[in-house]
Structure 1
Amino acid sequence: MKILVTGGVGFIGSAVVRLAIARGHEVVNLDALTYAACLGNVAQVAGHPAYAFEHADIRDAAAMTRILTRHQPDAIMHLAAETHVDRSIDSPGAFVDTNVTGTMVLLEAARAYWQQRGRPEGFRFHHVSTDEVFGSLGPTGFFNEATPYAPNSPYSASKAASDHLVRAWHATYGLPVVLSNCSNNYGPFHFPEKLIPVVILKALAGEEIPIYGAGENVRDWLYVEDHAEALLAVLTRGAPGRTYAIGGNAEARNIDLVRMICSTLDGLRPAAAPYGDQIRFVTDRPGHDLRYAIDATRIREELGWQPSVTLTEGIGRTLRWYLENEDWWRALQVRDGVGVRLGVA
């Protein structure tokens, strides 16, 4: 199968690209190379004969048409998006522009391409989204595919809007789409503005490790390589029009996760004092959802996928990767907004 992956130089997208190539697929990696992109994420496959790269923006309709016509993919995996909640608080327009307008432009290009090819039944448009579109859970319960949408941040609202567009293109035009909503990802190549890499790099630098509020917010953590496996399963075996919730079965409060990272790092690279001594509580983020948790029954029962990496194992893998790849993350620390508290409006 030839797959066009949008956002394939980003964190999750690059994991999908690497796995798809390893599984024998052809991949066309389309990326606008914004601040969060890093070509080093796909360096190991860049010279592979089944890999091609296109530098383009999903908001550019002419470019989307040209690239689809040139490469003739069998499927599109749409991961290109603005994703950082804190940045969305400061600059919501950029999130609407890319995540909503960009998705619409890509859908229209995909629809025209699919129709010109005679509407092949095997074609798929896989839209990759987030559990944040469902809002916030209380202390019990889980999100699933039937959970009503209730986004609370500009980021999650923009992703919710893009989900609705994808469903509408399926219902109105018959475009064969599949959707997935995942829990929080972590692992190698995670851009250093998200919680886990921030904690790792602040700890190594001997700086204060900031925890929003009281650290009581709960997330379901999914190792990125497990997520890539799930996404390929949805793309290749998911039913058109179907949505799949993807979770890691690994809930943790932020404060407990940070303490786990610190204690693991104490063993891997001991410092003069325990890294946990650097933890500091800071003013919470506006609209900070309390808890996310995924019921992944559908994808397990229909597609046979379930996470294989425990949170303890995944944190260990992630820490070792950051310790062994300092050149990668140091090069990104000079980029706009990295290391600076955003989203305090």
Structure 2
Amino acid sequence: MALVFMQQLARYLQRELSDIYSPGEIVALSRLLFHELREGLPSMVATGKCNHLSATYSRAASFLMNEGGGDIPFFRPESVPRDSFLMNDGGRDTPFWDVGKVGAVAEVVRRLKTGEPVQYIVGRTEFHGLMLHVTPDVLIPRPETEELVAWVLDELPPGKLKLLDVGTGSGCIAVVLGKIRPGSEVYACDVSERAITVAQRNAHENGVDVHFFVQDILAPLPVSPHLFSPVTSTVSSSITRKGVSLDVTPALAFENGSFHAVISNPPYVLESEQEAMEANVLNHEPAEALFVPDRTPLLFYERIADFSSRLLVKGGLLFFEVNRSKGEEVRAMLLERGYRNVELRRDMAGNPRMVRAVKP
């Protein structure tokens, strides 16, 4: 029965969004929304995260409950098998397509038509098997970054390691590393205090211990023996989200040669590439996490490579996600700085998007 529900949802989305999304994207949207419907999307509507239901409910209901002019039996409670009902808090059976769910789907569709990413609408996304919260303060994790994480996990040596994620955003890289390598000590930084708050929540809700701190990596850094010396941070030491107190660590002092791997997915989209970008990305995702000046396309890579050469142990690993047009330049830059075994790897789409280097 669940398959029938999802097929019905997919048909509705196809009808409403076919001029915006490809068939594959609509199938993916259907799966995500179906999951969210089971997890409480209507409650998001009730709390104000989705609005204007009165204006959109009738239109959605007329389609979902009467597609093509013919009544759809499984939308009538008396015709739905008992095992296809969901239990509400009062212990009474409720049809899957109740008023709240139909209205929630309609509101999501309305917002999708404005170009707002569905991940921001529902407030979360899946990454490497984990559910992560996302807000407009952080980039939506991409499949390419999942491929980077998979490569990192394949290359990391066994044992308890010390790892650093630079420009953590939602915390997707750091949280996965901490989850899969629980004996390791994972640190993650970002210039955005709001991003750190999102990342900390993701670590907490996935049961992962990650040390987060705010750091502008382009700011002057101290000389040896320490990097990222303690600084005054404007981030509150305790931030409350849904009644949970989340500690946010100020910038820490790291000894040279103390990390086994540094991983980063820094800003790499050239400002001149904005014209070719999708509007849903350009108008909704944080520009400071996306763009780099055309005149200095390797700005963040050079900075991270420089301080990583001090932070990493001998044989330590440096991983980057890169602009597909700048992979060879990043590789050459790392070789010039003395890194060895520098490899540029292609993603599943065939684009050169990942680089790994080894500190000699």
> Is TM (by shorter chain) over 0.5?
no
Larger Rg: 2
TM-score by length of 1: 0.27
Relative contact order, CA 8 A, sep 6+: which one is greater? 1
Bigger strand fraction: 2
TM-score by length of 2: 0.26
